[in-house]
Amino acid sequence: MLYLLYALFSLFVGWLGRNKQIGFVGFLLVSLLLTPIVGLIILMIAHDRRPQAPG
Q: Residue 39: phi, psi to the nearest 5?
A: -60, -40
| Residue-wise pLDDT tens digits, 1-47 | 999 999 999 999 999 999 998 999 999 999 999 999 999 999 999 98
In angstroms, the CA 19 to CA 8 distance is 19
pLDDT of residue 55: 61
Amino acid identity of residue 47, one-letter, is H
Confidence of residue 48 (pLDDT cuts 50, 70, 90): confident
Q: Which segments of 1-55 are extended strands (E)?
A: none
In the chain, where the domains are located: 2-45
The DSSP 8-state label assigned to residue 54 in this structure reads P
What element of type H or E holds 29?
Answer: helix 23-33
In angstroms, the CA 10 to CA 33 distance is 10
